[in-house]
Every structure is written in structure tokens, then in C-alpha cells.
Amino acid sequence: MSELGIALIAAGSAITGGVATGWFTRSAGFRQAEAARQAGDRQADALLETVRMTLREQAAVRLADIRRQTYVRFLGVAEARIRTERTGRGRGDDDALLESALGEVVLEGPVEVAAAAQDVVDRLRRHESPDSLLSAKAAFVTAAREVLRAPSPVR
């Protein structure tokens, strides 16, 4: 074989080897890029879920705080009204404050706590005995505590 033939074979081999190496390198690069994209997607999904969970937890805490404030306000107003019922001395706006506090409890809910608050107000309106009023107030406190202890789903 002549030198030209050997040179052509060597050049052809080099070109073929370069093309084959380039093809495999390109394929490996595509696989690595796809794997990196999928890993990035999983990482982004995990981060988004963490953010969602944090936001749900914060919303649940805010809801519990608002409910706690509402229930405490109702208890304060109900206690003032019970004291007025016992002593005959109170402020002229006790009934209006009680209705307002009841409305807040009904609005904040849940139904069990609102029903217990309504029971307190109904017993006050019927001028029931102090024991009956204390029993209704205790039922309200129990219902409120259960709601405030339970993890609240945020909607």
C-alpha cells in the first residue's frame, strides 16, 4: 500500500473515531442534562412543598390565635353579664356587648363552640340559676379548649 493510502486510512480512522467519540459524548451529555433537570425538578418540588406546609402551619396558628382572642373576649363579656345577673349591678351595655361577642364566636366557629356560646347566652336570657350558668360556661370552655388543641385544617 502506498503512503497516500495509509494516510487516507489513518485520516479516515481519525475522523471516524472523532465522530464516534463525539456522538457518545453528545449522548452522555444529553443524559446528564436530563438527569440534572429531573434532580432540579425534584428539588424544586420539595422546596415548594416545604413552603406550602409552612404557610399552612402559619395560617393554622393565626386562626387559632384569632379564635383564642374571640373566645377570651366572649368569656370576659359573659362573666361580666353573669356577675350582673348575680349582683344586679352592671353596665347598661352588657347585653349589647354579649350579643356582639356571641356574633364573633358564631363567625369564628366552629359549630360546637358557637352552640356552647349560644347556650350561655340563652341561659342568661332565661335568668337561670348561677349553677346552670357556670355549667354552661364550663361547657363553652371545654369546647373551646378542644378546638384550640386540635390541629386545624386551613381551607
- CA atoms of 98 and 75, how far apart (whole Å): 9
pLDDT at 92: 65
Q: What is the pLDDT of residue 88?
A: 73
Cα(78)–Cα(135) distance, integer angstroms:
13
**Maximum Cα–Cα distance across the chain:** 127
**Residue 143 has which C-alpha cell?**
369546647
**Scanning the structure block, which residue is given the C-alpha cell 434532580?**
39
Residues of the chain with pLDDT under 70: 1, 90-92, 151-155
Q: Where are the domains of the chain?
A: 3-149
| Environment class of 123 (CB within 10 Å of its CB; exposed 0-12, middle 13-18, buried 19+) | buried
Global confidence as pTM: 0.67
User: How many whole angstroms separate alpha carbon 13 and alpha carbon 113?
Assistant: 85
